[in-house]
Amino acid sequence: MPSQSRGSALKALIAAPEILVTPGVYDGFSARLVEKMGFKTASISGAGTSESRLGWPDRGLMGLEDNLANARRIADCTDLLLQADADTGYGNALNVYFVVQAFEKAGMAAVMIEDQVWPKRCGHMAGKAVIGTAEMVDKIKAAVDARRDSSFVIKARTDAAEPLGIEEAIDRLNRYAEAGADCLFADALHSLEDIRKVARSVLKPLSVNMGLGIRQRQTTPLVSPGTLKDAGVAQVTYPRLLSAAALKGMTNAMEVFMADVVQNNRVVDRPDLSASFDEINDLMGMAFLDELERRYAAR
């Protein structure tokens, strides 16, 4: 048995003096790369999951089973402390109870529940609306009661800042903290001063998103981790960095492929545009499979 649960290990990282920098992942490639780069935790991007698995934007089209299956597969191929995005909990407080248990069983260290109405939308999209505070408080209470490990991290997210104002967002986050949330998440804050105000006004550690990869629709200014730490933020996540980079890389490769191979009938190898066969196998754990084969294969 591990000496420390996933939730306990994540709580220690969140409580550490240094700000916890957390990339977003959405598949095996991204999770293995983040782990290789030395990170201990990653957030599973709900937007990245919806876009890569369903081929549709983060507008509430993805249900629990797609989200959960993706989280489980990522947990199976990495030792990262994974933080899942469970959207609104896919229903009321009763549904949240079982959703939290499902993500905990899937190997997560944390799960985040947000207070948007369903169908939700990405926090940086226009037109968001939120449910009543009391309803969300009940969801957080259900989430806290549902967990098997008392250290499993319950993250409570509010999207109230943009539609209802910063004071409403602070009030909601503190109500969620009083209901038992371990970590608070304020999305789409409009300025560094707003971030400072929320961080010094809430009762539990604050997490914020930085939108690297969504330059055209940026509600929150890009701020360095050091500045966020000085503002009182405990964790900063970059949910779209890798998914946006992956799409850009594929686009660049396809443009060269179309121009050189398809249209001009030239054989062109561009190692600057793609990982090599050996690099991919190394990242994906081929050495481990080779060792298993040597150990167990029939002679």
Residues 233 and 252 occupy one common structural domain: no
- What is the predicted pLDDT for the residue at 100? 98
Q: Read off the CATH number of the domain in which 155 is found.
A: 3.20.20.60
Containing domain of residue 292, as a range? 247-296
Domain co-membership, 285 together with 226 = no
Asked whether residue 105 falls in the same domain as residue 225, the answer is yes
Q: Give 5: exposed, middle or buried? Use CB within 10 Å, 0-12, 13-18, 19+.
A: middle
User: How many C-beta atoms surround the C-beta of residue 195 within 10 A?
Assistant: 24
Is 174 contained in some domain? yes
Predicted confidence at residue 61, as pLDDT, reads: 93
- Give CA separation, 59 vs 17, 48, 88, 123, in Å: 36, 12, 12, 10
What confidence score (pLDDT) does residue 28 get? 97
**What pLDDT is attached to residue 156?**
98
Q: Are residues 175 and 254 in the same domain?
A: no
252/192 same-domain check? no
pLDDT at residue 268, as a whole number: 83
Residues 149 and 209 in one domain: yes
Predicted pLDDT at 227 = 97
**CA–CA distance, 33 with 39 (Å, rounded to integer):** 9
Last residue of a domain, one of 223, 240, 257: 240
Q: Which of 71, 90, 89 is CA-nearest to residue 81?
A: 71
Q: Is 182 inside any structural domain?
A: yes
Q: Are residues 251 and 112 in the same domain?
A: no
Opening angle at CA 5, ends 4 and 7, nearest 5:
125
Q: What is the pLDDT of residue 32?
A: 98
Render pLDDT for 171-221 as a digit per residue (tens, 0 to 9). 999 999 999 999 999 998 999 999 999 999 999 999 999 987 555 555 788
The reply to whether 193 and 278 lie within a common domain is no
Among 240, 257, 287, which residue terminates a domain?
240
3-state secondary structure of 153: strand
pLDDT of residue 178: 98
Q: Does 93 share its domain with 146? A: yes
- The answer as to whether 12 is a domain residue is yes
223 with 260, same domain: the answer is: no
Q: Is residue 252 part of a domain?
A: yes
Same domain as 213, residue 125: yes
Spans of the chain below 50 pLDDT: 1
Same-domain status, 92 and 18: yes
| Structural domains counted in the chain | 2
Q: Which residues contact 189 (CB under 8 A, 6 or more apart)?
A: 161, 166, 169, 195, 198, 208, 219, 220
Note whether residue 1 is domain-resident.
no
